[in-house]
Amino acid sequence: MIQLIKKTFKLIYPDLAANDITLTPLKGDGSDRQWHRASCGGKSIIVVDHGPPTNKGVSEADAFAAIGRHLKKSGVPVPEIYAYDRASGIILLEDLGDTHLQGVIKNEHNKKCVTAHYQAVIDRLIIMQIKAKEDFDLRNCLETPYYDVEIILNRESRYFVEAFLNGYLGLDVDFQDLADEFLIIARNALSNQITGFLHRDFQSRNILVRNGKYYFIDFQSGRLGPLQYDLASLLIDPYVELREDVQQDLLRYYIRQLSDRIVFDADVFLEIYQYNALNRNLQILGAFAYLSGVKGKDGFRAYIPAAWKSLRARVERVAVKSCPKLTNVVNTIMK
């Protein structure tokens, strides 16, 4: 690894001796990847260690490198990827600092300033959704090239039941008993689809802020899917807990900005948004429950109440009539 880092430093900074490399561990995310900052002569790069590939298909590191380079080429604000060694799973990329949107918003109490940050992010989100869809090589996707019914049912709905309801809360709820209602939600989320590039984890911890600019990271799960999903991920993000009125203002802003690029029915868009937000809510609770309860990453536990509050409100808003069994489960837990 050190030799690859030295070689990369010399490539990027030809005048740098690149002899004494200092590696500083960085706080990771929900995955098992290892992150370091490599420093030398006042310069630094980020080292992401995925570990060697475990199968012949597309690995997480493969997807990260290929999708990251595609996004960069498409004009999306992402860190530049300097090098990728597939045998080790190590990727070296541009160091954009440690300031996440989450931290910026948590320290900002002025609604206009909060809204301005999110409007700037939304402008760049739309660019990613539209521009990165062009010439996107589906062969570089991890798992599946599309956000589809199978992904929704197994990676979001089932995840919610098994990791959150069963594992975290200890409830005796069978996924199959709710499967027909989860299918309704999935199909509604994918109906009348405006397809674009989908990040699939577009939230405040995956947005870096540096010198007034915004950069997107952790894009390895990118694929094609409905525009509403990433928007919902951004607005209902439990790390930040945007007020409902701010969410509504930003929804309207997104629709105005998107309307300048494509023609669509705003009312239909908003209806489908609610189902994508519901699926995202299910995924968040499943992930937070698994990461805190199984992986021992207890920091995620603090955000479960906000995610649960958001789910309750959304089920009441969009799923009471079509999903009575899910509504009953939610209402039972509320008591």
| Tens digit of each residue's pLDDT (9 = 90 or more) over 52-111 | 998 889 999 999 999 999 999 999 999 999 999 999 999 999 999 999 999 999 999 999
The tally of CA atoms less than 13 A away on the side-chain side of residue 86 is 10
All structural domains of the chain with their residue ranges: 2-94, 101-334
Give 334's pLDDT tier (boundaries 50, 70, 90).
low
In the chain the beta strands, taken as DSSP E runs, fall at 22-26, 34-40, 43-49, 81-85, 90-94, 195-198, 207-210, 213-216, 223-226
pTM over 0.85: yes
Q: Residue 237: what pLDDT? A: 98
* 101-334 shares the fold of 2-94: no
Q: Quick one: pLDDT band at residue 319, thresholds 50, 70, 90?
A: very high
Sign of CA dihedral 272, 240, 97, 60: negative
Rg of the chain on CA atoms, in Å: 20
pLDDT in tens, 266-278: 999 999 999 999 9
Axis crossing angle, helix 111-131 with helix 227-235, rounded to the nearest 10 = 160
Neighbours of 121 (CB within 10 A): 20
CA-closest candidate to residue 290, choices 202, 199, 142, 160: 160
Show the tokens assigned to 275. 């189902």
Q: What is the pLDDT of residues 198-210, one digit of tens each?
A: 999 999 999 999 9
Alpha-helical regions (H) of 191-303: 227-235, 244-259, 266-293
CATH number assigned to the domain covering 101-334: 3.90.1200.10
Confidence of residue 333 (pLDDT cuts 50, 70, 90): confident
In this structure, whether the domain defined by 2-94 belongs to CATH 3.40.50.1970 is answered with no
41: left (phi over 0), alpha (psi -120 to 50) or beta: left
Q: What percentage of the chain reaches a pLDDT higher than 70?
A: 99
CA 287 – CA 289 distance, rounded (Å): 5
